[in-house]
Amino acid sequence: MTELLAALGSLFTTPIVPAAFGGVTWGILGGALPGISPSITMALLLPFTYGMAPTTAVVLLASTYVGAEYGGSIPAILIGTPGTNAAAATVVDGYMMKQQGKGGEALGISLYSGFVGGLFGMLVLVGLTERLSSVALAFTPSSYFALGVLGLSVIATLSGESLVTGFIAGVLGLMISTIGTDPVTGLNRFTFGSPDLLSGIPPLLVMVGVYAMSELFMKTGEPDWEKATLEDARIKFPSPAIWRRIALPQAIGSVVGAFEGMMPGAGGAVSSFLAYNEARRWSRHKEEFGHGSPEGIAAPEAANNTVACTALVPMLSLGIPSSNSSAVLLGGFLMHGLIPGPLLFVNHPDVVHGLYTGLFVANVAMLIIGYLIMSPCMWLVGRPKPYLMAFIYALVVSGVYAIQTSLFHVGLAIAFGVLGSAMKYFRLPVLPMVLGVVLGFVVESNYRRALVLSDGDYRTFIQDPIAAGLLITAFLFIIGSVVRHLREA
């Protein structure tokens, strides 16, 4: 109750409402562009949040995530091309409904199911996050080191088809995190005499480079996407009969999304397909799935919007991002000097409560903006791809420069764009590298501090019960992934 009152209070003290509406608008527009994922949409916005108050910035980014998850379903339904990976499951029945002349109804089902899923995700987020982080005050440098290792162990799950390439990407990220001033001795490492590198490489630049810039490079040469007409894009309220029919798939999608959102590496795409499958299994109209079933839209859309909230549970409470989008949000926190994890709730409760409120407003805003934005959204999707890509490139370059008015940073973002493109070519997963960059400093500084405090005694990591528990969990996590990969091989 106290949290709810505090969250309500923040509604009137910070510009949360405009931030939530702005973020949702940007998110829907970005998500609606095929190939521009929620994480890229958020990464494009990151530089603009630099001068904002921390609460406003994190609300803007989190609302973008919420909006992008819905935005991805618009082209999925109207042109059969998912705007985001998570909307891929929506294509199956959404596009079929559009071909049957029920595109408006499909968009309405998507919007309302996203709203229902988002609200459920919010409840899970508020209910679980603070409890998970309540052990905050007992954390020592050993525990923080172990927490960082647990975060890095997520790499094992995020590695996709090859565990080795996932770990390689993770180690590359850790290497990047060592550039700059040494956290204990203050010595310069890998700076090559450049003052621009003394403070290290900001995770923000890595994210903008490997997500947004590399996507611009890799999209070069791809054909333009199909265009839809405005007549297709009038949202219709689902009828009471449809409402009754989609209630169960929405509940299934919400529950699946809640669990999958908190699982490292699962994300919106996995949860959408799982929810689709489960909704089909429990449906009385199984035969309609794949032929324009409203349930086939409701379940995945409820799931991916639930994920947009529940993916923040491990990120906020433990500082461990479980998806690309929550990694970008983590970058936004770090940029404002906020360290997600146990102490966030002690040191910055205002930001956390503001974020809760912002997410609630964002879900309501999604309903309103979802209706209003359809025409501009379709206009934007209808623009030729070369013009859109050119404007996005200019926006990224200008935004990165704006952070510290540094052309060196623009160069770094481009360099990371090249690295991201090379990683995609070699099928090296990007998220493990981002995790390495983000968690590298936490791991190294706390590892060494813990050893300084214990006079170099390594037993400190076993004697501290929290550290020992977290390290054992990380170890089991890695072993589990290795066994799974060996079985699949």
Q: Which residues make up the interface to another protein (CB under 8 A)?
A: 48, 51, 164-165, 167-168, 171-172, 174-175, 178, 182, 184-187, 189-190, 213, 216-221, 224, 384-387, 389-391, 393-395, 397-398, 401-402, 405, 407, 410-411, 414, 417-418, 421, 426-428, 444, 447-448, 451-452, 456
* Nearest partner of 485 among 157, 151, 155, judged by Cα: 157
Nearer to another protein, 182 or 287 (CB): 182
Contact between 207 and 409 under an 8 Å Cβ cutoff? The reply is: no
Residue 159: DSSP 8-state:
T
Angle (CA) 177-23-362 rounded to 5° is: 115
Orientation angle between helical segments 349-372 and 374-381, nearest 10 degrees: 80
* Minimal distance, residue 26 CB to another protein, in Å: 13
The kind and range of the H/E element at 387 are helix 385-404
Residues 284/98, Cβ–Cβ less than 8 Å? no
By beta-carbon proximity to another protein, the closer residue of 131 and 189 is 189
Smaller CB separation from another protein, 4 or 453? 453
Quick one: 219 or 234, whose CB is closer to another protein? 219
Taking the least distance from each CB to another protein, the nearer of 59 and 410 is 410
Bridge partners for 188 per DSSP: 181
What's the CA gap between 465 and 459, in Å, rounded?
11
Smallest distance from the beta carbon of 304 to another protein, in angstroms?
Answer: 29
Measured from the CB atom, is 174 or 338 closer to another protein?
Answer: 174
- Min separation Cβ 421 and another protein, Å: 7
Minimal distance, residue 348 CB to another protein, in Å: 25
Q: How far is the CB of 386 from another protein (least distance, A)?
A: 3
C-beta of 441: minimal distance to another protein in Å? Answer: 11
Three-state DSSP class for residue 373: coil
Q: Tokens at residue 330, please?
A: 């983590």
Ramachandran angles phi, psi of 138, nearest 5°? -85, 0
Q: How far is the CB of 266 from another protein (least distance, A)?
A: 25
Min CB(200)–another protein separation in Å: 13
Of 250 and 460, the one with the shorter C-beta distance to another protein is 460
**Helix, strand, or coil here: 191?**
coil
- Give all strands (DSSP E) within 178-241, no chain letters: 180-181, 188-189
Residue 337 tokens, joined: 């000097």
In this complex, which beta carbon is closest to another protein, that of residue 128 or of residue 397? 397
Question: Is 148 or 300 the residue whose CB approaches another protein more closely?
Answer: 148
Tally of CA atoms within 13 A in the half-sphere of 458 that contains its CB: 0
CA dist 224 to 2, 35, 196, 215, Å? 51, 11, 39, 15
Phi-psi region of 459 (alpha: psi -120 to 50; beta: other; left: phi over 0): alpha
Least Å distance between CB 418 and another protein? 6
